Amino acid sequence: MIPKTISRDHLLEAAKIIDREGIPKMRQSTRYNVLVTGKKYPPKYLIAVACELATGKMLSSQGYNGGAESNSFLRVRGFSITDKYGRIITRP
């Protein structure tokens, strides 16, 4: 389950951290990407990093589902989701 305490600001800051540190090979996106300031990020990894900012603990990828759960969480917080080909799937 994704903690509701993760805010849009946490997600924006998480994107900056990912820009600096990169995406671990095992955390790459398999089906969708989230757009943050025009760049693509793996939704589950972005949420995991944002969770660490919000709660002090990195969210395990087994603790919640990708796809609908992650995408809905991000959409509600104002982000668009694309498929692997760059086509917009959902808008905020």
Residues 50-91 have pLDDT tens digits of 999 999 998 887 877 788 899 999 999 999 999 989 899 988
* Domain ranges for the chain: 8-90
Name the β-bridge partners of 83. 32
What pLDDT is recorded for position 67?
A: 87
Averaged pLDDT of the chain: 93
Of all residues in the chain, what percent carry a pLDDT higher than 90?
A: 78
pLDDT exceeds cutoff 80 at 20: yes
Reference 36, options 12, 19, 18; nearest CA is 12
Residue 26 CA to residue 13 CA, distance in Å, equals 21
Segment 44-55 shows an average pLDDT of: 96
